[in-house]
Chain A
Amino acid sequence: MKRENLAPWFGFLFGLFLACSLALFFKESPVHVLKIVTTSFLNSKYDFGLTLFYTTCLIFAGLSFAIPMKAGLFHIGSEGQLTISATIAAIIGVSFNANTFTGLAAIFIITILTGMLSALIIALLKFYRKAHEVVVAIMLNFVFAALSTWVTVNHFQNTASQNPETGLILDAYQIFKNDPIKNYFEQSPVSSFFVLAIIFCILLRWLESKTLFFQVIKSYGANPAANKRFGFSELKILTSVMLMAGFFSAFIGLTEVLGNSFQYKIGFSPSYGFLGIAVALLARQNFIGLIGSSFLIALLHKGASDLDLETQFLTRDFSRVLQALIIFSVAASYYVFTYRKRKESN
């Protein structure tokens, strides 16, 4: 492993250290906070399962960010894509009456298509109108959030609930309730989607090392003008990375609706889309590394949500502070590392 590749992990530790030190300002012991944040996922099988559920979603979010990043695209549209995907999954699950196989096939296919098409907009606007992907993604995130809220509240609202959410999907489609993984972890939110996420990572890593296609993507990220001069199609590259990104965003929606809550709840995502950035940066876009970094961020997220109960002043909001500080120090770590190296060489 190259030394630079270690930089983000040191950044991670530094961010964690910083965040826990911050606890002093809130009259809490940093050691106590660190202990809760890092060990609460071990409290029970259920807690561990919950952490793996977050890990699943973060792996998908990380992939959704990391793949476009390889082509040099800064993709922050995952949040909107997963929102609209989850909404569609729930709507079909509630309203499409068919047998288990047909229904699930419909949910999978249409949800994935939704995710991919919503991501495709970013690629097309970038290619044809030279619009910056970050700007388009921000706009789309808002549009999709508003759309899904409107559809949910006005047309598919769960009448039995005060919260803005759809009804439960049909029983026939709730097959992940009897999922062996879910059963093992005492009916916690984790499901077979976790295994799927791992398989995707391994598959991608393998394809990346073996195929010309991923090398073309990487070369586009390194130098778009030269890539074009070599005769590769910019449109093909942009659309394929964004379609893949949308594909994985859609899987967050599926993981939630088919594997966890069996409905769409507005605001179910603790901004997975943005956490995906932290996850991918931490792993430096390495597909296998993503599994590890997702688990780390997941366990911290799980741990921080227990702060409500375990401390007097710190609340689950601390999770965001923690994540932000990790993003800061990971993003800065590369420079700090290479700076030290530069100094030594002089």
Chain B
Amino acid sequence: MSEMNFSDSIFVLLLFSTFRLSLPLVLTAVGGYFSEKSGVAQIGLEAFLLIGAFTASSVTYLSGSLFYGYISAALASLLMAQLFCFLVLKLRANAIVIGTGLNLFVIGLIPLIGKVLFDSTGSTPTIPTFDNTLIYPMVTLVLALGLSYYLSEKTIWGLQVKFAGEKQDALSAIGVNFDTRRWQAVSYGAFVTGLAGAILSTYLSSSYSPLMSAGRGYIALAAIIFAGWDLRRTILISLFFGFFEALQIQAQSNQAVSSLIPGEFIQMIPYLITLLALLFFKSKRQAPKELK
């Protein structure tokens, strides 16, 4: 980078990396949105994201196919969601307890599997660069966002999911089991979040490294709440948070900036913004009534 076009390139880089870094965040938030909207509190997004990331890089490395990587990531996350739903919807355990437990579970399980597969409890082996590395996240993004929007805002299923979150007895009265809708919503959400994990380990990086989600599951949750459980706003706010992540990475790689503002502070920004928002704006939008 030459001195001449320093500011230009910073700007372009920032825009591009905002977009890049927002990809997993947006999809995770969309995944979490479905669960929360159906009335199931979701703090297990980290788990879905991490298992997706690990599975994608492992399967891609072992099979040599990015396609299998993405699919298996979504399926692994879906599998975790079945465990979550079984405990929460069938055995009536508290969703927050199980979400916390699921995060612990996945964080513990991944190194054990890694040790068996690659004799390493840390990262997975680096996957080769494919020609279509860029295609996959783009296609995933467009498909997942389009499908999610259609399902949530246009279909009868989406309407029923919202009623499961707002007034479950209204569903029983038309002969629909609200727990079935919740189960489906959580599962679909986990599927999408698993894909976000795949993007994380195969596009933003070339291998899985421990805890690479770096709290994105929680930021995504913050974005959903910040957006007042509205899908469009959830997406916009995830992009906004993604911008701060990009800013932080740019700042860290830039001596002048990082001596001025420490990276830790920029890292804090999404969390601080959420806290300040809770402090200053009393949202008219309410949490789903049945959310627990």
The reply to whether B262 and A317 form a contact with Cβ atoms under 8 Å apart is no
The residue that A335 contacts in the complex, of B93, B109, B267, B275, with Cβ under 8 A, is B93
A34 at the interface (CB under 8 A from B): no
User: With A135-B278, A146-B268 given, is the CB distance from A319 to B108 under 8 Å?
Assistant: yes
Give every chain B residue within 8 A of A154 (Cβ-Cβ).
Answer: 262
The residue that B97 contacts in the complex, of A147, A314, A331, with Cβ under 8 A, is A331
Q: Which of A27, A125, A132, A142 has the most CB of B within 10 A?
A: A142
For B94, the closest partner residue in chain A by CB is A331
The reply to whether A335 and B91 form a contact with Cβ atoms under 8 Å apart is yes
User: With A327-B100, A335-B93 given, is the CB distance from A135 to B225 under 8 Å?
Assistant: yes
The residue that A147 contacts in the complex, of B91, B105, B112, B268, with Cβ under 8 A, is B268
Q: How many Å lie between the Cα of A189 and that of B93 in the bound state?
A: 35
Give every chain B residue within 8 A of A130 (Cβ-Cβ).
Answer: 282
Give every chain B residue within 8 A of A150 (Cβ-Cβ).
Answer: 262, 264-265
The reply to whether B101 and A324 form a contact with Cβ atoms under 8 Å apart is yes
Give every chain B residue within 8 A of A143 (Cβ-Cβ).
Answer: 268, 271-272, 275
Main secondary structure of the interface of A (DSSP, over half): helix
B98 at the interface (CB under 8 A from A): yes
Give every chain B residue within 8 A of A135 (Cβ-Cβ).
Answer: 221-222, 225, 274, 278
The reply to whether B274 and A139 form a contact with Cβ atoms under 8 Å apart is yes
22 contacts between A and B (CB under 8 A): A26-B116, A74-B96, A125-B275, A130-B282, A132-B287, A134-B41, A138-B221, A139-B275, A142-B267, A146-B264, A147-B264, A147-B268, A150-B264, A313-B115, A315-B112, A317-B107, A320-B105, A328-B83, A328-B101, A331-B87, A331-B91, A336-B91
A interface list, Cβ under 8 A from B? 26-27, 74, 76, 125, 129-132, 134-136, 138-140, 142-143, 146-147, 149-150, 154, 271, 274, 277-278, 281, 313-315, 317-325, 327-328, 331-332, 335-336
Q: Which 8 A-B pairs have the closest CB atoms?
A: A320-B108, A324-B105, A327-B101, A331-B93, A332-B91, A321-B108, A150-B264, A317-B111
